[in-house]
């Protein structure tokens, strides 16, 4: 790969949560970062302000990743701004936990449009535009190893992401690009805690080896390794980052 200060990364869904921490972490290494967001412009600009204040370089680009035309624009604008793309982190996603009988067709379509379609077509854009020796990181979930009521739809989309990651590894290998997925367990983010009771969250804490929720920094450190030259021989894999939750 290029010298680290010459690398450019796109992080989808980077205005909050895990994506925000990843964007800040990799920017601190000298990587130029595109903070993608779909609606929360103010939060995305706050991330950019923090990155730039700490000596990094980044821009915010709006794109709904469930729409292929907007994904194409995201990559086009990145190339116009920085001239290259070395890293893609497909972090954006949604999670609505409902029992089967409460799942609507819209719930189904929304989950697959963002979590699966968005990831898949972002990978397609990466195949077209990413530099040789690049890095792609997709997001799965450690919930795939459990049987939680209400998670069937979300888990189904992440199972698809793991297969996408595995099946595309050889195609990307022709360009010396690695593609892997990370599968966090419960992490202390708005996405995870929204709609859960204190009792439910405490119960989740007890399911791992350390009795706490994961923090966004726990995930970002693994991402930092996977985008480094030290991960050259790792591709097509899903890394469980969950403190022993599964």
Report the catalytic residues.
Answer: 140, 142, 154, 158
H-type alpha helices, 64-181 = 68-82, 105-111, 118-129, 152-173
Strand arrangement of the beta sheet that strand 135-139 belongs to: 58-62, 32-37, 8-11, 87-90, 135-139, 178-184, 238-241
CA 149 to chain centre: 24
Q: Which residue has the tokens 């459990």?
A: 146
- Distance (Å, rounded) from C-alpha 13 to C-alpha 40? 10
Instruction: Supply the DSSP string of 162-203, one letter for each residue.
Output: HHHHHHHHHHHHTTT-EEEEEEE-SBSSHHHHTT--HHHHHH
Host H or E run for residue 41: helix 41-53
Take residue 214 and report the two structure tokens written for it.
Answer: 């994961």
């Amino acid at each position: 790969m290029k010298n680290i200060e010459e690398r450019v990364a796109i992080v989808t869904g980077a205005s909050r949560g895990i994506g925000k921490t990843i964007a800040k972490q990799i920017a601190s290494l000298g990587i130029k970062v595109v903070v993608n967001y779909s609606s929360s412009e103010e939060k995305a600009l706050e991330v950019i302000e923090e990155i730039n204040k700490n000596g990094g370089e980044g821009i915010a680009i709006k794109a709904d990743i469930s729409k292929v035309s907007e994904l194409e624009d995201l990559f086009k604008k990145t190339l116009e701004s920085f001239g290259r793309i070395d890293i893609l982190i497909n972090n954006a996603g949604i999670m609505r936990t409902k029992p089967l009988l409460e799942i609507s067709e819209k719930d189904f379509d929304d989950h697959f449009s963002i979590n699966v379609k968005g990831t898949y077509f972002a990978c397609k854009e990466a195949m077209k535009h990413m530099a040789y020796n690049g890095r792609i990181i997709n997001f799965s979930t450690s919930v795939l190893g459990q049987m939680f009521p209400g998670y069937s739809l979300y888990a189904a989309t992440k199972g698809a992401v793991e297969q996408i990651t595995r099946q595309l590894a050889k195609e990307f290998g022709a360009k010396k690009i690695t593609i892997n997925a990370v599968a966090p367990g419960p992490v202390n983010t708005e996405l995870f805690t929204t709609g859960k009771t204190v009792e439910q969250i405490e119960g989740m804490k007890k399911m791992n080896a350390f009795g706490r929720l994961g923090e966004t920094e726990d995930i970002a450190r693994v991402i930092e390794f996977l985008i480094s030259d030290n991960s050259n021989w790792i591709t097509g894999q899903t890394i469980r980052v969950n403190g022993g939750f599964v």
